[in-house]
């Protein structure tokens, strides 16, 4: 698991991820095939995100996604970390200590969002939600428990691909550490260049002489 999924707790409840909607009954009829159509139809996405840790501290930033395999979490000014995937590897970059860590994209629970060729029916399911206006999908590979699991939160929205709007997710790693991400200002299938997924190498701080 990446550090993104280790130290950051889930202070938000699943229902808090979903904006109020007036068409609750429709959400109850969503199938996994509908979710798969949304994932397949989403080629790019940009959004603002907020992330809350177990102590209640909130970090914000901008999410950029491009299939296949590319994603970037650009944190707010003053936060010296970056999480980015170039399509093959997912990197955690800490510019304060000059550290870079790398994992295959497929080892992350985010792979359900990044790989348009995966058959979600083999590792994902619709799970009951306490709010009938919320569609919750859990993705988990029991053969690879070390990859963790993710619960994606959607609401019906005709303006989004296949009529579903991704509101965020809750990811849990193999050590039961949870991370909750909430999205806003989502925009789909606009132009996103590959330069958005490049990064500067972190450098070790100079030792005092």
Phi, psi of 137 (to 5 degrees): -120, 125
Return the structure tokens found at 27. 């959400």
Confidence label for 19 from pLDDT (cuts 50, 70 and 90): very low
- Please tell me the least confidently modeled range out of 6-10, 25-29, 82-86, 172-176: 6-10
Quick one: fold of 8-188?
outer membrane lipoprotein receptor (LolB), chain A (2.50.20)
**Can you point out the beta strands (E) in 17-134?**
44-52, 58-66, 70-75, 81-86, 89-94, 99-104, 124-127
Look at 79 and 3; give whichever has higher pLDDT.
Answer: 79
Asked whether the beta carbons of 84 and 73 are under 8 A apart, the reply is yes
Closest-CA residue to 81 (of 4, 156, 181, 172): 4
Give the three-state DSSP class for 152.
strand
Return the structure tokens found at 152. 């994606």
Domain ranges of the chain: 8-188
Cβ neighbours, 10 Å, residue 89: 14
- Return mean pLDDT, the chain: 83
What's residue 26's pLDDT? 46
- Please tell me the least confidently modeled range out of 75-79, 133-137, 183-187: 133-137
Return the structure tokens found at 88. 């093959």
Mean pLDDT along residues 157-164: 92
What's residue 28's pLDDT? 55
What's residue 178's pLDDT? 81
């Amino acid at each position: 698991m990446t550090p993104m999924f280790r130290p950051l707790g889930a202070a938000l409840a699943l229902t808090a991820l979903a904006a109020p909607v007036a068409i609750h009954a429709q959400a109850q009829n969503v199938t996994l095939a509908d979710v798969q159509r949304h994932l397949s139809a989403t080629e790019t996405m940009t959004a603002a995100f907020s992330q809350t840790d177990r102590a209640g501290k909130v970090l914000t930033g901008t999410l950029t996604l491009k299939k296949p395999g590319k994603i970037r979490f650009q944190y707010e000014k003053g936060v010296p970390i970056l999480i980015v995937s170039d399509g093959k590897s997912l990197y955690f970059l800490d510019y304060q200590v000059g550290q870079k860590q790398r994992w295959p994209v497929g080892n992350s629970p985010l792979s359900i969002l990044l790989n348009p060729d995966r058959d979600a029916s083999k590792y994902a399911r619709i799970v009951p939600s306490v709010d009938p206006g919320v569609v919750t999908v859990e993705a988990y590979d029991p053969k690879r428990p070390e990859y963790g699991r993710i619960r994606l939160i959607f609401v019906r929205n005709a303006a989004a691909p296949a009529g579903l709007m991704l509101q965020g997710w809750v990811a849990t790693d193999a050590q039961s550490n949870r991370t909750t991400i909430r999205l806003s200002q989502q925009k789909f299938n606009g132009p996103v260049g590959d330069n958005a997924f490049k990064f500067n190498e972190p450098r070790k701080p100079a030792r005092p002489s």
